[in-house]
Every structure is written in structure tokens, then in C-alpha cells.
Amino acid sequence: MEEERHDVVVVGAGPAGSLTAKKAAAQGLDVLLIERNQEIGVPVKCAEGVNRAIEQFVVPDKRWISAEVKGANIYAPDGTKVVLSGSKMEEVGYVLERRLFDKFLAHEAARAGAEIRLKTEACGIIEADGYARGVYARSMGQTTRIYADAVIGADGVESRVGRWMGINTRLRPSELSICAEFLMCDIDLNNEYSEFFLGNTIAPKGYAWIFPKGDDSANVGLGIGGDVSGEKHRAIDYLRAFVHERFPAGKVIAEMYGAVPLSGPIRESVANGLILVGDAARHVNPLTGGGIIYAMQAGEIAGDVVAQAVHEHDLSKQRLMEYETRWKKEFGKRLDTGLKAKHFLFNLSDDDLNTLAHSLQGVEIKELSTWALLTELMQRNPRLLFGLAKLLL
């Protein structure tokens, strides 16, 4: 078997992997970033909405932005509309072209000095003395032993890297959102707002979305709870019904299916010689399903910590815990709040959702953050949201 050696091997070239690779390479490390697919960013499994916080990591570029949105319209099951607009947006702001965005991030990692290898799939971990010491990788029918001081698991929702080192990455069906999405064109839509639709007949334990992609096209999709998905009640069945009602004459030019981890962050994101980032560490807001920015944020921290740890020749779990402490400080609370809000709001009846939407009529919500919305709702519905308030405050 062929063998090679690097300081760090990063598994998965999504936003989490590319940001980790970029940061570590920029600090002088020999970094190998491996991706099982033959093209970075493809297939797209995403609604592609992000907030302006992305500007902390990259300078927005027209080449990978499809549309800019001013706010969001949220529709209750009875059609009542709640408008959220303002400059402090969470989950909306830009609609990306991830096919190009993910490539751009990988390009940045390469420019910083990382080596990128496509069609290369990690298929096992090299372990010695309780430390991850690299991965076995398969490419074109050949397996290579890739030794490294540190392994980064940035391998997305289906992550196996953590499990190989004994981290419990199992997700129950109720902790997953099962999604279906069409890229549609020839449709009449509001290009300045993202739109969200709630209701147990539209998307049980989830929501439907329309994210404008410019001109007459949009990502039209929905996610439902993994525990309510079943025969004739699959995400695609709900999506077909949604599209049939709203865009009967629209054309579908791409279909996408995927899953989002809504469990809240993983209990342990590090082991000896190993760090998990992004979806692999369940860095996703459990209420909204948004994970791109968290993946980038966690990637930057991981790259920074691993670079220092390699320079210090200390890759122990204890040393790498700095990564966990830092991501928890930066966004752990937001994920915890999102999880509690998800448990509460995804179990409300349509009548309760309508009542909440009615209570927000005439209210101007200028900050589209989960917290701003919940605070507004709790002030207006103390009885209905008493349980949620107790959980959060």
C-alpha cells in the first residue's frame, strides 16, 4: 500500500473543510484536503441562504451570489404573513451559488498552500496509542495510507470520521430534517424576500422555503421531521403538493434531496489527534437548519487550534479542547437556543401557529434572528409560550 505524510489531513471539502485547511495552511502547515467527489460544490444539497455574517469570512463576490434579499416573509398555515426585514439578518441576506462558492473557498485554501485531492474518499482511520494518526483513503481503486499529526473530520451530515475514533455521532430520525428541493424557473416570485411557509399539512416538523435565485428562478424546497417521514408522506410528496399549489406552471430544472442534522451540537467534537467541524459536529441551527456560517466559523477556529497544536507537538484531546471551548463561546448558545425553540415550535398545532402569527400583525421586526423573533413572540403570547420562556430564560 502506498504511504504519504502530512501535518494535517482534512476529510471533506465543504465550507468547514476548506476554511480549516486555509487557516492551518496559512500558518505554515502541510495540509492535505481530500474530497470524495470529482467536483467541489457538486452536487448542491442546500437552499443556499446565508446572512451577512458571511462577510466576516469572505468578501461577497457576484460570481457566487445569485441574489440579495432584504428580508423574509413568514406565512402561518392560514396564510397570515409576518414580515421580517432589517440589516441584522440571520439565515437570509444572500442566496449563494454553492456550486461556485464551495469552489471559491477551496481555491482560497489552495492559495494559502493546502493541497487538494479530488475523487479521494477516506475509508478508515489510522489509529495508534489512542490517537488518530491519519486516514486510509481510496482513489481510483487504490488505497493509500495517509499519515498526519491531526485528522479533521469535515465530512458533513453523514460523517464517519468521528465514529471511527469512538465518538457517538448517531442521529435519531427525530434529530434529522429530511429535505427535498427543486430549482425552479418560469415562476412568478418576490425577488427581494425569502419566503417561509409553516403548517403541519405543508411540512410537518419543518417548513417550506422559497429562496430567490435571480430573474424568474428560485430554490423551492422543504424539510420535514425524520420521524414523520413515511410512505406517501415523504418530503418529495409534500414538495410536489406545495409546488402544485403555488407554481403549477413552473418548470423544475434540478432536483435535490438531503438531510440536515437538527440535534444540536455533538457532545464531543475532539479526540486525541482529531477534530470534527461543521455538519460533522452538528454545527447547525436546529430551528432554521442553517449551517454554512457555523461551518466556516468552526473551520477557522479548528485551523487555528490545530496549527498551534502541531507546532507544540501536542495533539492530545486535552490540547484540542481549546477548539471546543472557542466554538462554544462563539456560537454554542445560539445552537442551544435553537434546539429548545425547535422542540417547542415544531410541536405546535396549526391553530397555535396561526395565533402566534396573528399576534405579530402590525409589528415591525427589524432583526431576523431566532432570538429577536422568539422574544417578540414571548412578549405577545405569554400564556402560549410560557413553556418556551421557562426553557430559555
Ligand X SMILES: Cc1cc2nc3c(=O)[nH]c(=O)nc-3n(C[C@H](O)[C@H](O)[C@H](O)COP(=O)(O)OP(=O)(O)OC[C@H]3O[C@@H](n4cnc5c(N)ncnc54)[C@H](O)[C@@H]3O)c2cc1C
| Binding footprint of ligand X on the chain (CB under 6 A) | 11-17, 34-37, 45-50, 121-122, 154-156, 179, 181, 221, 258-260, 278-280, 284, 289-292, 295
SS3 sequence, the chain?
CEEEEEEEEEECCCHHHHHHHHHHHHCCCCEEEECCCCCCCCCCCCCCEECHHHHHCCCCCHHHEEEECCEEEEECCCCCEEEEEEEEECCCCEEECHHHHHHHHHHHHHHCCCEEECCCEEEEEEEECCEEEEEEEEECCEEEEEEEEEEEECCCCCCCHHHHCCCCCCCCHHHEEEEEEEEEECCCCCCCEEEEECCCCCCCCCEEEEEECCCCCEEEEEEEECCCCECCECHHHHHHHHHHHHCCCCEEEEEEEEEEECCCCCCCCEECCEEECHHHHCCCCCCCCCCHHHHHHHHHHHHHHHHHHHHCCCCCHHHHHHHHHHHHHHHHHHHHHHHHHHHHHCCCCHHHHHHHHHHCCCCCEEEECHHHHHHHHHHHCCCCCHHHHHHHC
Which of 324, 318, 336 shows the shortest CA–CA distance to 276? 324
Q: Which is nearer to ligand X, 277 or 385 (CB)?
A: 277
Q: How near is the Cβ of 122 to ligand X at its closest, in Å?
A: 4
* Cell representation of residue 375: 422574544
Q: Which is nearer to ligand X, 12 or 199 (CB)?
A: 12
Partners of residue 81 on adjacent β-strands: 75
Q: Are 381 and 356 in contact (CB under 8 A)?
A: yes
Q: Which is nearer to ligand X, 225 or 290 (CB)?
A: 290
Q: Which is nearer to ligand X, 163 or 329 (CB)?
A: 163
Q: How near is the Cβ of 275 to ligand X at its closest, in Å?
A: 12
Q: Which is nearer to ligand X, 46 or 385 (CB)?
A: 46
Q: How near is the Cβ of 223 to ligand X at its closest, in Å?
A: 6
* Cell representation of residue 2: 502506498
Q: How near is the Cβ of 140 to ligand X at its closest, in Å?
A: 14
Q: How near is the Cβ of 354 to ligand X at its closest, in Å?
A: 25
Q: Which is nearer to ligand X, 80 or 195 (CB)?
A: 195
Q: Which is nearer to ligand X, 160 or 317 (CB)?
A: 160
Q: How near is the Cβ of 121 to ligand X at its closest, in Å?
A: 4
Q: Which is nearer to ligand X, 320 or 388 (CB)?
A: 320
Q: How near is the Cβ of 384 to ligand X at its closest, in Å?
A: 28
Q: How near is the Cβ of 169 to ligand X at its closest, in Å?
A: 12
Q: How near is the Cβ of 181 to ligand X at its closest, in Å?
A: 5
Q: Which is nearer to ligand X, 45 or 246 (CB)?
A: 45
